[in-house]
Chains A and B, each alone.
Chain A
Amino acid sequence: MHRHRHLRIWDAVHRWSSLTCTIFLLLLCLTGLPLIFHDEIGRVTQPRIHVDEITGNTRAASLDRVIEVAVSQHPTLHPLFASHEPHEPRVWYVTLASVNGDKLEQVAVDARSANILGKPHIGPQGVMGVIHSLHVDLFAGLKGKLFLGFMGMLFFASIVSGVVLYAPFVRHREFGAIRRSSGARSRWLDLHNLLGIATLLWAGVVAFTGVINTTSDLLLSQWRSQMLSQLKIPAETHPEKVPAQVILENALDHLRGGAISFIAFPGSSFAGDSIWGVYARGNSALTSRLVRPILLDARSGNIVSERPLPWYLMLLLLSEPLHFGDYGGLPLKILWAALDALTIVILVSGVYLWVVRKRPRRAAPMNLRKPAQGAA
């Protein structure tokens, strides 16, 4: 009966890990559904950035001029990043922030004429903003993120234990056989098993990458402090003497192929206090996700490091597309939504199966009471 006890333990793991995280997983699945399409929704609700075709002089404007134009729109803020969308080097998106980081603004500037093209909103707005917060941090910042990460770990445990329980439950039956005439509970148990095993790998990957994403703040600050300590450059705040354009040109000289993904200004989270970070992306589908950092001294403009990102940041960069499902066009997003909806069915049917479970424990005390009464 060793095997039997084994299964009872797995059964308990599956039951309690699932029940603990179900309500939050349900929230994550429901809020995740619209977030899958946030690009498409944003395209409808946000004004499009229109880039004019310039004939004749198409030389790039100096990056310093671009920054100057962006700052002139928000004089109280300071620039953090300047970035390009993939395959659109004609537009610089300059992100600016207040000193305490509460206020974030973005200005789209034409990279050739330095004309302002628009002021896109940063992150989801309005209803989508609420949905985003419910999905990411429950309006509780890092604590909320890590809490949801813990719920994701419980979900992962329930997936693993569910796989262990799958075989003993479906033994002797054809794959996908769903009992139709043995009552609703049997039918939903079979459906729960079928949908669970069919979406297993997808749910496992999305749960795992979701947990990784909740630790992004921690991973980033870990890398930042590690990188800065290894550079052995005193972390004192100096007025930047070297113009941004020189930094950009020095980095570009070093880039063989590839394009600029974004430039992190000294003091921002992807750079040091007196270090610029220039991040290059590759041209292939995979390497366009895995950016390569080039770090430059703000006082001399020299390259101080070209080391690739550590494995845990690579893992984080890969976890984003594998969680969002945004790397294979609209059809992939629709499949992502379908799998998300199936997961909702699994969660709800799991709760149902627990609510209408057979209750042997309730019967046991009654049986025990009988002989006790008889003895009295």
Chain B
Amino acid sequence: MLRTWIIPIWLGLMTGVGLISALLGDGIWDALSWLALAVPVALCIYYWARSTKRPSRKGLVNRRDAEDRLRDERRLRR
């Protein structure tokens, strides 16, 4: 449960800092806001770009997907 939420919570904190700090002041506060808000944007772009690459030849990703599918099927049968 915690593992699922730890990164989303951290991203939420970053966004919150980014939204508020530029309101509080100029200069360094603006810069802090840019850095903090860039985190969720950069993360989206990173993971999206990673997903458009062809699956690796070693089959690592395929195997992981297959494991996922197996687990889902098992859960459905239960």
- Residues on A lying within 8 angstroms of B by beta carbon are 166-167, 170-173, 175-182, 187, 190-191, 194-195, 197-202, 205, 284-286, 289, 318, 321-322, 327-329, 331-332, 335, 338-339, 342
Q: Which residues of A are found within 8 Å of B23, using beta-carbon distances? A: 285-286, 289, 318, 321-322, 327
Q: Tell me, rounded to whole Å, the shortest Cβ–Cβ distance linking A212 to chain B.
A: 15
Contact in complex: B68, A200 (CB < 8 Å)? no
| CB nearest neighbor in B for A175 | B7
11 intermolecular pairs with C-beta atoms under 8 Å apart: A175-B8, A176-B47, A178-B48, A178-B51, A182-B65, A194-B48, A201-B11, A285-B25, A285-B29, A286-B25, A342-B41
Known: A180-B55, A191-B51, A195-B44. A205 touches B65 (CB 8 A): no
Task: Flag if B44 contacts A328 (CB, 8 Å).
Answer: no
Contact pick for B61, options A180, A205, A321, CB 8 Å:
A180
B41 to chain A, nearest CB (A): 5
Q: Which residues of B contact A175 (CB under 8 A)?
A: 4, 7-8
Specify which chain A residues have a CB less than 8 angstroms from the CB of B46 in the assembled complex.
176
Q: Cβ of A173: which chain B residues have Cβ within 8 Å of it?
A: 68
In the complex, which of the residues B4, B37, B44 has the most CB atoms of chain A within 10 Å of its own CB atom? B44
Contacts of B33 in A (CB 8 A): 328, 332
Q: Contact at B12–A205, with CB atoms within 8 Å?
A: no
In the assembled complex, the CB of B44 is this many whole angstroms from the nearest CB of chain A, namely 5
The answer on a CB contact under 8 Å between B19 and A202 is yes
Known: A166-B8, A201-B15. A179 touches B65 (CB 8 A): yes
Q: List, in ascending order, chain B residues with CB within 8 A of A328's CB.
A: 22, 30, 33-34
Q: Assess the A286–B19 pair: CB atoms within 8 A.
A: no
Report yes or no: B15 in contact with A202, Cβ–Cβ below 8 A. yes
Majority SS of interface residues in chain B? helix
Hey, which chain A residues are within 8 Å of B62, CB to CB? 181
B22-55 CB mask vs A (1 if < 8 Å, else 0) is: 1111100110011001101101101110110001
Complex Cα gap A166–B1 (Å):
11
CA distance A195 to B43 in the complex (A): 9
Contact partner of B4 (CB less than 8 A), chosen from A170, A178, A199, is A170
Q: From A194, which residue of chain B is reached at the shortest CB distance?
A: B47
Name the distance in Å between A202's Cβ and chain B's nearest Cβ: 5
Q: Are B34 and A332 in contact (CB under 8 A)?
A: yes
Check B41 against A285 for contact (C-beta < 8 Å). Answer: no
A202/B40 contact (C-beta < 8 A), A178-B47, A182-B68, A328-B33 known: yes
Q: A175-B4, A176-B43, A201-B16 are in contact. List 17 more A-B contacts (CB 8 A).
A: A166-B4, A177-B64, A195-B44, A198-B8, A198-B43, A200-B12, A202-B37, A202-B40, A205-B19, A285-B24, A289-B23, A318-B23, A321-B23, A328-B33, A331-B34, A332-B22, A332-B30
Chain A residues with CB under 8 Å of B19's CB are: 201-202, 205, 322
The CA of A198 and the CA of B12, in the complex, are separated in Å by: 8
User: Lowest 5 CB-CB distances: which A-B pairs, in order?
Assistant: A328-B22, A178-B51, A176-B47, A201-B15, A175-B7
Look across to chain B and name the residue whose beta carbon is closest to the beta carbon of A328.
Answer: B22
**Is the pair B34, A181 in contact by a Cβ cutoff of 8 Å?**
no
Taking CB atoms, residues of chain A closer than 8 Å to B26 are 285
Known contacts A181-B65, A199-B40; A329/B47 CB under 8 A = no
By a CB distance below 8 angstroms, the chain A residues around B5 are 167
Question: Once the chains are docked, how many angstroms separate the CA of A200 from the CA of B65?
Answer: 26
- In this complex, what residue of A is CB-closest to B66? A181
Across the interface, do B41 and A335 meet the contact criterion of CB distance under 8 Å?
A: yes
Q: A197-B11, A332-B37 are in contact. Are A181 and B25 (CB under 8 A)?
A: no
A176 to B64, CA, bound (A): 14
Establish whether residues B30 and A284, one from each chain, have CB atoms under 8 Å apart when the complex forms.
Answer: no
Alpha-carbon distance A331/B18, docked complex (angstroms): 12
Q: Which residues of B contact A205 (CB under 8 A)?
A: 19
Min CB gap B74→A, angstroms: 11
Could you say which residues of chain A place their CB within 8 Å of the CB of B61? 180-181
Cβ contacts under 8 Å, B38 to chain A = 335
